[in-house]
Amino acid sequence: MVPFGTVAEPGDEVLDVAIVGAGVAGTYTAWRLLCDGPHGPHGPHAPPRDRPLRVAIFEGADRIGGRLLSLKPPGMDRLVCELGGMFFASVFPLVCGLATKLGIAVQSMPHSQQDLRYLRRVRLANDAKSVPYNFTDLEKRSSPDDLVPEALEALIPGVLSLHGAALDEKLRTATVDGIHIADWGFWNLLYLKMSSEAFDYTSDTNPDDYSLINWNAADAIRSMQLLNVSGLQVFHATDGYAGIPQAMASAVEAAGGTVKAKHRLKRFAMEGDLVRLELAADSRGWGPAAPGRPVTVRARKLVLAMPRRSLELLEQTGPVFEDARAQAMMASVTPIPMFKMYSCYASPWWKALGYGPQGYAITDMPLRACMYWGTEGDQPGGDPGNTSSLLLTTLDDMMASSFWAGLRDPHHGPVFAPRRAAAAPALLGALPGSPRWREYADCTTDRIVREAQRQLSEVHGIDVPEPYAVASMNWNQDPFGGAADFWKIHARSEDVMERMTQPVDGVPVYVCGDSFSRTQGWVEGALESAERMLQTRFGLARPTWTRDVTTTP
């Protein structure tokens, strides 16, 4: 790989495939083309068969991973902060197979449970039967956690017993009040059967606000059913989830491909049968006006492995962006905001309360959810004397993320620094953490940390000790626009997913990524979208290392 922090000139040769974006979808596309069997693109723009494919990935940032961002915290070597995606499940055939294929070490996670619920200023145990919400008499007859499933069963009988193709068929044909399910907002649909108090309870006790927003009801139900299976296992990558795209990028280079950092695409246009890419090298901004040394690349095929916001930051000219249908498809998803913060403590203060490991607390306060991530000395191979501990302090999306935005501006206060030097463990010198930790610590203001500490103390009913280090990530910023993209009401995702693989017929420009997938917000969605594109548009065979993968919804 061209060393990050430097700029490399492309050669004069025409690339067979130029890929923009070094996240999961982009690195996977290059890896499949170059490393996963003797195959290559077919069709009118295919390269000569007597030479290897010329494939290059162009990444605007100075790191690989996209919306995966894994950091080792200071004072710990066996724990990883996942500031982006965190987990994957046994129902995801692509990511499970890929991790095995790449030799990525994974660990099964114990079943995470809500150790604590702090709602409406009442502290509740996980199994509390009485909650401070004014349910209707009918709702009081049910377990509070069954309110959504019962509402959906009443509206669409039998839907929660279905999965896969049977569920897709049900959702394609079912209606409520004569309106197709995809034309309902999920909130609108649930409100037909749930009181406002029942909905508030469900929202308050769900760590992911986005799952209950008013997005496409058909896709919301698919998302619910994805993990609604018996025997579900959840895994995490031992050394960090970002290791998957990093491993693929390394394999691409070993196979003769190129990965170029700090090359931000500004615009592209057709030049005869080729696509001409105009990039800004070593740019410090996003969008077509961002300054940077101009670099021009030509390719037979262009793959845009990018979320909606990144696509919007390109100059909106040329045969793709000037096509009304392509624009409508790109606008069929909406970005989901998210803010995440981790805190490092000298010892696991939550253990004295009987919480953890990997349990979590839920609250209706802006903190929303915190997870007791772990203690260094408790990890396999860890030093038993090292009590440094990690807390996922807040996992906020939707409205709650805007609360922290008001405290995030560094012009309104200094970056966090511990006020008591004794809070830092002696092992910091030997275990400094990831080299990039400082970058994500320096965007975490003192005001954010103090407010998070105040809310943690109220939720747990103790004076929570001061952390010795913190790091955070605001996924709302460019070029991401959010931590995920979700289908809008009225979108027909099954049609858009297929068409977005090549938005305009006859134009060798392709789009992939979890934004336009059935599994939005998950790495599986990025792989699913890229695989659909590779099979239907590039003529690649189904991978042999995974279970059956369909190329159409």
Query: Running DSSP on this structure, what letter comes out for residue 464?
Result: P
CATH 3.90.660 fits 70-84+338-474, yes or no: yes
Are domains 15-66+242-335+481-537 and 70-84+338-474 of this chain identical in fold? no
- What per-residue confidence (pLDDT) applies to 213? 87
Q: Specify the 3-state DSSP secondary structure of 202.
A: helix
Query: Running DSSP on this structure, what letter comes out for residue 346?
Result: S
- What per-residue confidence (pLDDT) applies to 552? 28
Class of domain 15-66+242-335+481-537: alpha beta
Q: CA-to-CA distance for 72 and 90, rounded, in angstroms?
A: 25
Residue spans of the domains in the chain: they are 15-66+242-335+481-537, 70-84+338-474, 130-226
| Residues ≥6 apart with Cβ < 8 Å to 234 | 87, 88, 89, 90, 108, 109, 111, 112
Pull the structure tokens for residue 29. 């596309």
Q: CA-to-CA distance for 369 and 471, rounded, in angstroms?
A: 16
From first CA to last CA, the distance across the chain in angstroms is: 35
Q: CA-to-CA distance for 306 and 315, rounded, in angstroms?
A: 14
| Residues ≥6 apart with Cβ < 8 Å to 550 | none
User: What is the pTM for the complete model shown?
Assistant: 0.92
Q: Specify the 3-state DSSP secondary structure of 189.
A: helix
Q: How far is CA 509 from the centre of its chain?
A: 24
Pull the structure tokens for residue 218. 């058909």
Pull the structure tokens for residue 420. 């008591």
- What per-residue confidence (pLDDT) applies to 112? 58
HSE of 156 in the Cβ direction (CA atoms, 13 Å)?
A: 28
| Residues ≥6 apart with Cβ < 8 Å to 152 | 159, 160, 190, 221, 224
What averages of pLDDT result for each successive group of 10 residues across the chain (553 residues)?
Answer: 39 88 98 77 50 92 96 93 94 95 90 80 77 91 88 96 94 96 97 95 84 92 91 92 97 96 96 96 81 94 98 96 97 95 95 87 93 93 93 87 83 74 58 85 90 96 95 94 95 96 97 96 97 96 71 28
Phi-psi region of 490 (alpha: psi -120 to 50; beta: other; left: phi over 0): left
As beta bridge partners, residue 276 has: 269, 298
Helix axes 24-35, 523-537, angle to 10 degrees: 40
Q: Cα dist. 420→363, 445, 448, 468 in Å?
A: 28, 17, 18, 8
Q: CA-to-CA distance for 96 and 90, rounded, in angstroms?
A: 7
Pull the structure tokens for residue 453. 């500490």
